[in-house]
Chain A
């Protein structure tokens, strides 16, 4: 008989493992999966895993990382066959919490660009907002079509060793990763089809339709049947696969800046049949590159005059420019107060405690307890520039302290949270080993429209012991199953 592949799994004492409890017993939601996997030996498993990976490569499901290779060579996104399971009741709370949080963020954005009540009421320091490089003056005294700013939010959550989910970060600019959710599911559907029915796993394939509904719901006033398109910076972008995937699955044109132009107050797309007016643009390029007339004049990616058409109310941009003023890591620590302020409700989702280095007493705490903290630059995404105190050398700590003291506004710190671990198939050992995971949940907000993708993207830190799960930092992913069963 083959060696059972999950038998030698080691649970680490101080961690929460989502699959096994501390006694090494399989947790209830994973029971069927465990039995199913244990029917196979490691050789069988290896074979199925390889086949799945190959199908990813053949489908062109790849991404490029800047740090590793500036030329942008593409890699497949590491993926393994063991799904992560979230129970129905757990998910219900998460879903409610995600909608609540993102609605509050939307109201916050509308407020800081218009009435600015929350700043005048001193709930959030006005300096914090106005000093942010992401506070976009082109959004001042303007409300986008449908009153929605963060149409698409990617909320990063972790499961702490206390068993609760915590929000680690909000991403409301151009969050990526959703295409991997759908591709992962596609791959697992083929390999584990019987289990889906048995576990009553919620679908993720409704996402393209939901996104399309969301885009149409915020069409400019007076437009009955909106023409939408996806704007990509081009094939050298790390998320190009996703851009083309989303355009294709929604049946929309994938366009680049040079395919578009502005005339007479409207945005047009060049087609072989002549010009066609565009009403909704799902743009996957950063604010700064959107419009060389308004922002970075050297941008070759954007459309000159786009911001003017936008301010005329003649095109909808998804997401709105300037949303970055709400998801930087310094604003993050105010989100619980923001939820309370606009909705009069207690936040359903918890934040990880965050120290603001710009507040002198908090900075003192941070520089004196660096070894117990994770320090993050306020303005970086993709896991770049994260400093983990426990694994830094004395010299690195000293350097970090100096940086914080020089530019306190630029840094926040959080206690090192024990991200839960999850059994993950490791190629090198052909075994399952515990790896840290987080969850990026995708929420859509449109005009009178709310949607949360069932599951989201579970990201895996493939390096043993590493806490950094970002795909741009060499992380992998898992399919995430929301089961109706408890």
Chain B
């Protein structure tokens, strides 16, 4: 068991006063049996009340609706939580002998359509993929997903600055580099091209332990393995999700998981900055 302290700070400056807005933060760790809150607090410079509203997947979002003009909004979110130890390898059970049959069945495709259907940022044509990223019928999902995870880690170079938010998987493959978000979306694209349901995960990574990441929210992927269920894969670190990964939410791709979104009544430019720190308290 580990205790984590997460701090998410964001500063948003607007060229012209914002008359009305809805600011939505998707940064609250998901509460479940493996991660539990000890405490959390949300503060802002405008003394606005916040309210919580779940998104379509049931993940709580923090919302602010400033109704008086403002030019700067600073939000400081802190939480303390307790993570159970997760040993991902424990979860993986023996691959089913009829796995391919299940994956190819109509019922499976219908039940998982949401996470099988490529989106613009998780689409890649099979023709572009090297042979090793084409799943063969006698390969189990587990084997294939491990190969995919290692491929991304070994072939692509990690960058810690986001240069653009819209690297499509084909670009990531061509350029051989990207940020965690690009790697997660590439991972998902390859899964979907191979008929494996996969989803985008946004959360916090404890980097203190030598993990690769940046001072931002981390992104990884979950793939659905028949018989086992959803399993987390982090291609940026070539790891499976363990207790260093604090999950906030999942969705079809980044667009479902953006940590901050706002609909503003203003004109002119704005600058958004944010910083994340995750620290682990002494082991008990």
Contacts and interface: CB of A to CB of B under 8 A. Distances in A.
Interface in B46-70: 51, 53-56, 61, 63, 65
Contact of B110 (A116, A294, A309): A116
Interface in A233-290: 258, 261-265
B35 interface: no
Interface of A: 116, 119-120, 122, 126, 130, 137-138, 140, 142, 258, 261-265, 292-294, 297, 304-305, 307-309, 311-312
A452 B261 CA distance: 43
Contacts of A140: 56, 114
Given A262-B65, A293-B24, A305 B107 contact: no
B106 A126 contact: yes
24 contacts: A116-B110, A120-B106, A126-B106, A126-B109, A126-B113, A137-B252, A140-B56, A262-B22, A262-B65, A264-B51, A265-B51, A292-B263, A293-B22, A297-B263, A304-B22, A305-B22, A305-B53, A307-B56, A308-B53, A308-B54, A308-B55, A308-B56, A309-B53, A311-B56
Contact of B263 (A119, A304, A312): A304
A91 B63 CA distance: 52
A261 B113 CA distance: 33
A130 B117 contact: yes
A274 to B, nearest CB: 12
Given A137-B252, A293-B22, A305-B22, A312 B53 contact: yes
Nearest to B52: A265
B110 A119 contact: yes
Contacts of A312: 53-54
Contact of A293 (B106, B113, B114, B263): B263
Contacts of A261: 20, 22, 65
Contact of B107 (A120, A137, A293, A294): A120
Contacts of A119: 106, 110
A305 B63 contact: yes
A304 B23 CA distance: 10
A285 to B, nearest CB: 16
Given A126-B109, A126-B113, A304-B22, 15 more contacts: A116-B111, A119-B106, A120-B110, A130-B113, A140-B56, A261-B65, A264-B51, A293-B263, A297-B263, A304-B263, A307-B56, A308-B53, A308-B56, A311-B56, A312-B53
Contact of A263 (B61, B65, B263): B65
Contacts, number: 56
Contacts of B117: 130
Contacts of B109: 126
Leading 6 A-B pairs by shortest Cβ distance: A304-B263, A304-B22, A264-B51, A308-B53, A292-B263, A130-B113
A126 B117 CA distance: 12
A476 B109 CA distance: 47
Interface residues of B, number: 23
Contacts of B22: 261-262, 293, 304-305
Interface of B: 20, 22, 24, 51, 53-56, 61, 63, 65, 106-107, 109-111, 113-114, 117, 252, 261, 263, 265
Nearest to A293: B263
A293 B261 CA distance: 8
Contact of B53 (A258, A265, A292): A265
A219 to B, nearest CB: 20
- Which of B106, B113, B261, B265 has the most chain A CB atoms inside 10 A of its CB? B113
- Which among B51, B61, B263, B265 has the greatest number of chain A C-beta atoms within 10 A? B263
Contacts of A309: 53
Contacts of B54: 308, 311-312
Given A262-B65, A293-B24, A304-B263, A138 B56 contact: yes
Residue picked from A122, A294, A308, most chain B C-beta under 10 Å: A308
Contacts of B261: 293
Contacts of A307: 56
Specify which of B63, B114, B252 lies most central, judged by the most chain A CB atoms within 10 Å of its CB. B63
Contacts of B114: 137, 140
Contacts of B265: 258
Nearest to A275: B67
Contacts of A137: 56, 114, 252
Contacts of A122: 106
A297 B54 CA distance: 19
A140 B113 CA distance: 10
Nearest to B51: A264
A292 to B, nearest CB: 5
Contacts of A264: 51
Contacts of B106: 119-120, 122, 126
A6 to B, nearest CB: 58
A225 B218 CA distance: 47
A295 B190 CA distance: 26
Contacts of B53: 265, 305, 308-309, 312
Nearest to A117: B110
A189 to B, nearest CB: 46
Specify which of B24, B65, B107 lies most central, judged by the most chain A CB atoms within 10 Å of its CB.
B65
A260 to B, nearest CB: 11
Nearest to A264: B51
A308 B114 CA distance: 18
A147 to B, nearest CB: 19
A308 B20 CA distance: 19
A485 B138 CA distance: 72
A311 B61 CA distance: 14
B57 to A, nearest CB: 9
B245 to A, nearest CB: 25
B64 to A, nearest CB: 10
Contacts of B107: 120
A137 B114 CA distance: 7
Nearest to B105: A120
B220 to A, nearest CB: 21
B51 A263 contact: yes
A308 B52 CA distance: 11
A265 B63 CA distance: 10
A297 B111 CA distance: 29
